[in-house]
Amino acid sequence: MASDATRRILTARNGKVEPLIPREPIASSGEKWRGITLEKHLADRDYVRSNFATHSNLVHVFTGSPVTQEWRFDGHNYRVQNTAGSMMLAPRGLQATVRAMRIRPDVQWILELEPSPSQDLLNGRKFEPIPQLNLRDPQAIRLVQLLQTEVENGTPTGNLFGETIGNSLILYLAQHYSTASPGQDQVRGGLPGLRLKRVLEYIEVNLSRDIHLNGLAEIAGLSAFHFAKLFKQSTGVSPHQYVLQRRLERAKELLRKPSMSLTEIGLESGFTDQSHFTNVFRRFVGSTPAKFRSSL
């Protein structure tokens, strides 16, 4: 799936900000998720990147044949071999030179995690990861794989799903590989009634539009990390599950109106196009919108 997205993962070289990998990605989340960008690339067999600085917090996930990497940063040299299922974590502002050697060109996934500067982690901490050059962590890999599947399938589940998984990954990495661990989660009790009411009313009015996790959190007056946990405590489901349920319920209501086309119903319910509407409706309801309408 070639990407036509405009947003790219960037780096700084010689005082100039440019794409981390010059060629266009094979697939990308592009503009869909706020604070999270995932790109799929066919990496060169061998490459050298000299005197670059990471422009954001990056996670590289390796697949296929082993990759030998020689790094230099903070006055030290490091040599590692990354194999399939390993990952690398590079914090924002890391100044380094790296040489990578592969047996053959192979697929590589690169994930940018950039929570808003105004969005703290739990207990008021910021996301400040420690460099990890050859990390094997099944839980972190599982979260990245969920994002990979979304991108490969054209992000069918919507903005909120990717943003929620991305926030979960940031929290996990902060708890295990950060200079500022959020520590014990003290979030309890759910959203206060008035705040929950404002959020649910906003969702209902904006079902046909893009809904983002940070936007819902701002309405509740919380960081995205606090909001996602409190919302689930209050409703029993995550924000993206709630929004998807409401979109499907609205679609069912509109399918009772013979004057509306399936395309109109899909757009009014918040789906990007009729194909997206049909695929999601079939997956969660068990029949296509057309069959559901004919059974009414």
CA atoms within 13 A on the CB side of 23: 9
Contact 129, 56 (CB under 8 A): no
pTM score, two decimals?
0.84
CATH fourth-level superfamily of 250-294: Homeodomain-like (1.10.10.60)
250-294 matches 10-177 in CATH topology = no
d(CA 240, CA 79): 41
CA atoms within 13 A on the CB side of 151: 31
Copy the structure tokens of residue 8. Answer: 């790219």
Domain locations along the chain: 10-177, 193-241, 250-294
What contacts 147, CB < 8 A, 6 or more positions away?
29, 36, 38, 111, 162, 165, 166, 169
CA distances 196 to 23, 155, 209, 247, Å, are 44, 27, 20, 18
Q: What is the pLDDT of residues 31-90, one digit of tens each?
A: 889 889 999 998 888 888 888 999 899 999 998 889 999 999 999 999 999 999 999 999
* CA-angle at 231, arms to 226 and 235, nearest 5°: 160
| In CATH, 10-177 is 1.10.3720.10 | no
Architecture category of domain 193-241 in CATH: Orthogonal Bundle (1.10)
pLDDT band at 188 (very low <50, low <70, confident <90, very high): low
Does residue 252 have a pLDDT over 90?
yes
Q: What is the pLDDT of residues 217-235, one digit of tens each?
A: 999 998 888 898 899 999 9
CA-nearest of 215, 226, 276, 225 to 251 is 276
